[in-house]
Amino acid sequence: MDDPVIGIDLGTTNSAVGIVEAGFPILLANEEGERLVPSVVWFGPEGAVKVGRAALREPEANRTVRSAKRLMGQRFAERDQGVLRTLAAQDGGIALALPDRVVTPPEVGAEILKELKRIAEYRLEGPVRRAVITVPAYFNNAQRAATKLAGEIAGLEVLRLVAEPTAAALSYGMDKLDERSRVVVFDLGGGTFDVSLLELREGVFEVLATGGDTMLGGDDFDAALVAEVCARLEKNSCETGESERFRREAERVKCELSESEQSTFRVPFYDGTSSLEEGFSRAELEVLLEPQLTGMKRICGAVLVDAKVEPRDIEAVVLVGGSTRMPVVKGFAREVFGREPDCSQHPDEAIALGASIQAGILAGTWRKVLLLDVTPLSLGIETLGGLMNVLIPRNTTIPCKAGELFTNARDGQDRMRVRVLQGERELARDNWELGQFDLPFQPRVRGKARVGVQFSLDENGILEVLVRDVEGERDLVVEIESAAVDVSDAAVEQMVSESVDHAFEDMNARIFTEARLKAGELLPAVQEALREFGEDMEEGERDEIEAARGAVVEALEGNSASALKGAVEQLDEATEALAARVVEQALSGQLEDDKLNN
């Protein structure tokens, strides 16, 4: 990729980076295979810096900066910002005092962005210069400017700042909803809670209302759990040296309770002598979180009132943020918005995926896929008589799959030629050939081979053709790349209009061919039957059959589809009694055989 654009979710707790590759948004993992980078930076002595999990392993709290996003673009105020002492920066913003240096929030953000840039360059094996970064919908100008500055310090040109709920909605494909559709994005992360109501207007999401609490998230759930454990230990607060161990254990227990009903809070030798082991059920945790949930309910209600929207006017509710993995949160969202929330995306990856899609749109690597929402032209194979047999009709939404069973046309046939076609015409030769190949099989009597052909068309317009000899259990898979992609709009239009222009003659050609094939089966069969039963047939019947046969032979010489079809139908009718006799005899022969076999 020449000059890639990456999409970045610069989160309060976790950050991630992604890109659109081959039309798909994907997140890029670091050397350890991790796609989430904890938004934590450790500033060591002599300018050493560690980011993410490596920073978490460093013990010194006074050198470790967390949740810097909260301070982005904030004015300095004489209030406690946590473990680190805060100062007024030159521009009146906040600075953080470390033992041997002072850093600003954009500088902290820049370290995280540098790490994400590094991961992207490692995965893409080339330089990365441009990025899209997400910010909360409520971020003001100063906060946005600070985020952009962080990007610049990291050596990135920030092409766009995208609202997080918009990115989330993009990742869920909500941009394909109808005009004016409304979507709620419910984002509960580690330290923040954001609800946004979006409306789709001319393909762009507009934020109708947002609400939230910048001091409410999964961290608070962990704290509530720690407080409960300390209360059970009959301590007012846990010893400071131990608090980090307690917090980590609380988070582990909380996450486990999202999957199972029961967990155990364990801190071995928490005070040097005794170990802690406390059972917790999911229900107990949910009781602890009631105050937070009540606050969230009020906020959601306020957003709906602000936007003057009722729950029934909402098209979709999507959940993002790691904390929405909790069943109680899902249930809560369902209750408040009166509909089943969509949680089909990874909650902690959705925003980065949406940022990647936005990056792909800007880089021009995404558009293709949007155009390819439906197949522009029908896809099929050539069958007997040179006809087009459509497996996937035009305008089918992709991805899609379709299949059909075919048989051999000739006795002793030992292979099936599969010609893959694209187009709207009835005759194979008028359509475009995308490829052809042979499936060999054991020679079989005509009509005895059973060959399944399956087409699967993926999001990128790549067509996979699976051909299977059902009896021989032999498979052949052929990938036809970009079957539908390379078709220009003009070519599609021409194909469609030609198919309309030629609709009449095409239809005639198809009817003629089908009748010709039927005649090809019927004539030899009739001949055979007459030879066998002709003797003891009534003369009238025989004459009638002979006449009908002659008419078919004559019609085959001509080019009138209706004449041939009519003649074939007549012959079919005239030979009804004869055919019955053939079947009867075949059956009694079979009975004889069966008797012999038994």
Q: Which partner from the list ligand ADP, Mg ion, none does 13 bind, CB cut-off 5 to 8 Å by kind?
A: ligand ADP
**At 394, which helix (H) or strand (E)?**
none
- Closer to ligand ADP at the Cβ: 27 or 555? 27
Q: Which of 107, 111, 115, 164 is catalytic?
A: 164
Q: Which of 9, 228, 348, 430 is catalytic?
A: 9
With contacts defined by CB under 5 A, name the span among 3-11, 112-120, 412-420, 487-495 that binds Mg ion: 3-11
Q: How far apart are CA 433 and CA 510, in angstroms?
A: 19
Whether the bond between 399 and the residue before it is cis, its omega within 30 degrees of 0, is yes
Q: Which of 50, 69, 117, 148 is catalytic?
A: 69
Please say whether the beta carbons of 459 and 438 come within 8 A.
no
Which tokens sit at 441?
Answer: 């099989």
Listed residue (581, 508, 512, 583) closest to 545, CA to CA: 581
In the window 323-362, what residues touch Mg ion (CB under 5 A)? none
Q: Which partner from the list Mg ion, ligand ADP, none does 254 bind, CB cut-off 5 to 8 Å by kind?
A: ligand ADP
Evaluated on CA atoms 132, 135, 141, 146, the torsion sign reads negative
Q: Which partner from the list ligand ADP, Mg ion, none does 190 bind, CB cut-off 5 to 8 Å by kind?
A: ligand ADP
Shortest spacing between CB 122 and ligand ADP, in angstroms: 22
Shortest spacing between CB 498 and ligand ADP, in angstroms: 53
Known catalytic residue at 464:
no
Phi first, then psi: give them for residue 190, nearest 5 degrees.
Answer: -80, -40
Q: Which of 111, 175, 187, 430 is catalytic?
A: 187
Known catalytic residue at 148:
no
Q: Which partner from the list Mg ion, ligand ADP, none does 322 bind, CB cut-off 5 to 8 Å by kind?
A: ligand ADP
Provide the residue count of the chain: 598
- Closer to ligand ADP at the Cβ: 12 or 365? 12
In single-letter form, the type of residue at position 78 comes to: E
Shortest spacing between CB 497 and Mg ion, in angstroms: 49
Segments of 241-353 assigned E as strands: 262-267, 276-281, 316-320
Q: Which partner from the list Mg ion, ligand ADP, none does 20 bind, CB cut-off 5 to 8 Å by kind?
A: none
Shortest spacing between CB 188 and Mg ion, in angstroms: 9
Q: Which partner from the list ligand ADP, Mg ion, none does 109 bind, CB cut-off 5 to 8 Å by kind?
A: none
Q: At what angle do helices 503-533 and 489-501 cross, to 10 degrees?
A: 60
Known catalytic residue at 69:
yes
- Closer to ligand ADP at the Cβ: 107 or 348? 348
Residue 63 three-state SS: helix
Please say whether the beta carbons of 177 and 360 come within 8 A.
no
Q: Which of 189, 360, 376, 461 is close enough to bind Mg ion by CB under 5 A?
A: 189
Q: What DSSP line would sit under 415-426, residue for residue?
A: EEEEEEEESS-S
With contacts defined by CB under 5 A, name the span among 6-14, 153-161, 269-277, 379-387 that binds Mg ion: 6-14
With contacts defined by CB under 5 A, name the span among 58-66, 189-197, 234-242, 411-419 that binds Mg ion: 189-197
- Closer to Mg ion at the Cβ: 227 or 299? 299
In single-letter form, the type of residue at position 10 comes to: L
Residue 33, C-beta contacts closer than 8 angstroms, at least 6 positions apart: none
Pair type for strands 157-163 and 130-135: parallel
Binding site for ligand ADP (CB under 6 A): 11-14, 189-192, 217-219, 251, 254-255, 258, 321-323, 325-326, 348
- Closer to Mg ion at the Cβ: 222 or 506? 222
Q: How far apart are CA 583 and CA 217, in angstroms?
A: 77
Q: How far is CA 520 from CA 123, 409, 510, 524, 528, in A?
A: 61, 11, 15, 7, 13
Q: Which partner from the list Mg ion, ligand ADP, none does 258 bind, CB cut-off 5 to 8 Å by kind?
A: ligand ADP
- Closer to ligand ADP at the Cβ: 251 or 569? 251
- Closer to Mg ion at the Cβ: 11 or 212? 11
Integer distance in angstroms from the first to the last C-alpha of the chain? 71
Known catalytic residue at 219:
no
Is residue 11 at the binding interface for Mg ion, with CB under 5 A as the rule?
yes
Is residue 7 at the binding interface for Mg ion, with CB under 5 A as the rule?
no
Quickly list H helices, 42-85: 53-56
Please say whether the beta carbons of 354 and 171 come within 8 A.
yes
Catalytic residue annotation: 9, 69, 164, 187
Binding site for Mg ion (CB under 5 A): 11, 189
